[in-house]
Amino acid sequence: MINAIIIDDEPLAISVVEEYLAKHQDIEVIGTFNDGFQGLKGITELKPDLVFLDVQMPKISGIEMLELLDDLPAIVFTTAFEEYAIKAFEANAIDYLLKPFSQDRFDASIERFKLRPANQKTEVSNLLAAQPTNRIVLKDNGRIRILALKDVDYLEADDDYVKIVSANESFLKKTTLKRYEEQLPSSQFIRVHCSFMVNLSKITRIDPYEKTSHMAILKSGTGLPVSKSGYLNLKEVLGI
Q: Which residues pair with 6 in a beta bridge?
A: 32, 52
Which of 94, 43, 86 lies closest to 68 in space, CA to CA?
43
* Distance of closest approach, residue 10 Cβ to other proteins, in angstroms: 5
- Sign of the C-alpha dihedral computed for residues 67, 71, 77 and 83 taken in this order: positive
Within 8 A by CB and 6+ apart from 96, the residues are: 76, 77, 79, 84, 85, 88, 89
Other beta carbons within 10 Å of 59 = 13
Q: Give the C-alpha separation, 92 to 67, whole Å.
A: 14
* Distance of closest approach, residue 106 Cβ to other proteins, in angstroms: 11
Binding marks (x or -) toward other proteins, 202..231, rule CB under 8 A?
Answer: ------------------------------
**One of 4, 48, 61, 91 touching other proteins (CB under 8 A):** 61
State yes or no: residue 86 binds other proteins (CB under 8 A): no
Q: Give the C-alpha separation, 74 to 169, whole Å.
A: 34
**One of 5, 57, 155, 177 touching other proteins (CB under 8 A):** 57
Of residues 99 and 174, the one with the C-beta less far from other proteins = 99
Q: Give the C-alpha separation, 80 to 8, whole Å.
A: 12
Which parts of 99-128 interact with other proteins (CB under 8 A)?
99-100
Binding marks (x or -) toward other proteins, 144..173, rule CB under 8 A?
Answer: --xxx-------------------------
Q: Give the C-alpha separation, 102 to 97, whole Å.
A: 9
* Distance of closest approach, residue 16 Cβ to other proteins, in angstroms: 4
Of residues 19 and 207, the one with the C-beta less far from other proteins = 19
Binding marks (x or -) toward other proteins, 173..202, rule CB under 8 A?
Answer: ------------------------------
DSSP 103: H
The site for other proteins (CB under 8 A) is made up of: 9-13, 15-16, 19, 34-35, 37, 56-61, 80-81, 98-100, 131-135, 146-148
